[in-house]
Structure 1
Amino acid sequence: MPADLSPIDRAKYAASRRAVDFVEDGMRVGLGTGSTAAWMVRCLAERVKAEGLTLQCVPTSTRTAELGRELGLNIVTLEEAGWLDLTIDGADEFDPELSLVKGGGGALLQEKIVATASDRMIVITDAAKEVKTLGAFPLPVEVIPFGWQATRTLIAELIGGSDVDGHEITLRMNGDQPFRTDENNYILDLHLGRIGNPRELSLLLNQIAGVVENGLFLDICDTVIVGYGDGRVELHDMATRTPGTEPVPGNVFTDGDL
């Protein structure tokens, strides 16, 4: 492990290192997308190499698939794996009910499909992602390119009558072109500030013609692992509803870990 990591990267590494402890030999594992999930993929590859684990790993994006193959993981499709034992992914926000906002990395559709095809979902994050109420992070909504302006108008009408604080909608860009997901769709980011009723909003969004999926992950996450810059981790589990902090492992930040 490099010694010059930022506190945020050290926190992401600590959470990732703890999360891969839940992986057992023979499992079918979903691999998330994003900067935190990339640390997890590296930590998992280390375990596979050190312990000779036999796994089937299903990525949630082409980026994760490429990284996993590069590190020697057995990358398969969801169709090949069938059903998954565990998915480990990051999140942009989580609340006390372990409801999530995801999609900052642009892979929310595959992430939701993989997570809901798993017996368990573990989320890895840093303390800055914990909120009392979802909505501070813009809510991503994946839409098909055809007629996306009309879809945006319908979404604007919906959120205009919803229990939210903001109403701005922006088309996610990649330079001077719209950002494209792995499915070649667009993403609209909803700057809501606060989402008073996530369940209702999620249901109504997905009823709009042109909406493929939204970034609200409700009743999907089982455990959130929060990492800290000093190597501590805090586990929030739906089964116990009581967060527990674990001590710093003695060698979590020693050089050569990765």
Structure 2
Amino acid sequence: MTETDPVKVMKQQVGKAAADLVKSGNIVGLGTGSTAAFMIQFLGERMQAGTLTDIKGIPTSFQASVLAKKYGIPLTTLDEVDRIDVAIDGADEVDPQKNLIKGGGAAHTREKIVDGLAEQFVVVVDSSKLVDSLGAFPLPVEVVPMAIAPVMRALEELGGNPEIRMGVKKDGPVITDQGNMILDAKFAAIANPADLEKTINNIPGVLDNGLFVDLADIILIGEIKDSQPSVREM
């Protein structure tokens, strides 16, 4: 059956464009989310076709690990490799300076580790994720459960409006792959992402937050023009 949903086709095309950047022998950081899922699928298809060989993936989440196994991508860990050649991941917001907000999938802590270690970090998004300044998307903050109340107070003092992220089709809060909780903090605007990232990460009990500053190298953007999906690079 031919795919007719233009948004899905757009995500597929930007995922394929990113997968095409991977070279044989690469260690690849495997991102999390719907667009990254297509990238993982296309990496598997390239391996099956024989156009890509001897790659290993480092997943950023349980979801990425499951998809990699489904599509036949061998996995490794940071203990076993001394480099990551390229990491490919999505984002919830992208500003003109290539700063990001990530964490809509509650995987931003592992994503920042993998993406930050990569020689090249490629971001795959659709055009709806582009913003003039970060902050419309609530900032995810991963917190050790015992510190939820004091961290919420600290975020409020910084001008944020934090809420505990609750599960969908599940009673209670979202629990990360590390066994922690997520606060989504709404800020009116984030004028200085670099300063806010460091300030929040210095709050006792915070593992990491979803601000990714000066990490992205390439932004691949899926768009729909004249009812046709296309991909461009920022």
Report the TM-score range of the alignment, normalised by the length of the smaller protein. over 0.9
Deviation at 1:196, TM superposition (A): 1.2
What are the ranges of 5 or more consecutive residues in structure 1 without an aligned counterpart? Answer: 160-166, 237-258
Q: Does 1:120 align with 2:120?
A: yes
Query: Which residue pairs with 1:217 in the alignment?
Result: 212
Query: Contact 1:94–1:134 at 8 Å: present in 2 too?
Result: yes
Superposed displacement of residue 5, structure 1: 4.5
1:204 and 2:199 matched: yes
- Mapped contact 1:137–1:193 kept (Cα < 8 A): no
> Are residues 47 and 193 of structure 1, via their aligned partners in 2, closer, same or farther at CA, if it must alter by over 3 Å?
farther
Aligned residue runs from structure 1 range 10-159, under 5 A: 10-50=9-49, 51-159=51-159
Q: Mapping of 1:212-251 within 5 angstroms?
A: 212-229=207-224, 230-236=228-234
Could you tell me how far 1:31 is from its partner in structure 2? 0.4
Instruction: Provide the rounded CA distance (Å) in 2 between the counterparts of 1:173 and 1:110.
Output: 20
Q: Which residue of 2 aligns with 1:251?
A: none
2:123 aligned counterpart, secondary structure: strand
User: TM-score, length-normalised on structure 1?
Assistant: 0.85
Q: Does 1:171 align with 2:169?
A: no
Q: Is the 8 A contact 2:13 2:231 kept in 1?
A: yes
Which residue among 190, 199, 209 is the counterpart of 1:195? 190
Distance 1:26 1:110, change over 3 A: same
**2:7 partner letter:** I
| Cα drift, residue 169 of structure 1 | 1.1
Q: What SS does structure 2 have at the residue aligned with 1:131?
A: coil
**Partner SS, residue 19 of structure 1:** helix
Shift of 1:81: 2.4
Q: Distance in 2 between matches of 1:102 and 1:150?
A: 23
1:142–1:213 Cα contact (<8 Å) kept: yes
Secondary structure at the counterpart of residue 80 of structure 1 = coil
Instruction: Report if the CA contact (8 A) 2:31-2:64 is conserved.
Output: yes
Asked if the contact 2:126/2:223 (under 8 Å) is kept, the reply is yes
CA deviation map 1:218-245 (0-9, x unaligned): 0100000001242311101xxxxxxxxx
Q: CA-atom RMSD, angstroms?
A: 1.2
After TM superposition, the score normalised by the length of structure 2 is: 0.94
Change (3 A) 1:145 1:25: same
Cα pair 1:16 1:39 within 8 Å, conserved: yes
Structure 2 counterpart of 1:31, which letter?
L
Cα deviation code 1:43-68 (max 9, x no counterpart): 11111111251101100001110110
State the shift of 1:77 in Å. Answer: 1.4
The answer (yes or no) to whether the contact 2:23–2:52 under 8 Å persists in 1 is: no
Are 2:6 and 2:229, in contact at CA under 8 Å, matched by a contact in 1?
no
User: Does the 8 Å CA contact 2:165/2:184 hold for their aligned counterparts?
Assistant: yes
Structure 1 pair 235–157 and aligned structure 2 pair: CA distance change class (3 A):
same
Aligned residues: 228
Q: Is the 8 A contact 1:138 1:193 kept in 2?
A: no
Between the aligned partners of 2:3 and 2:45, the Cα distance in structure 1 is 20
Partner Cα separation in structure 2 for residue 78 and residue 64 of structure 1 = 15
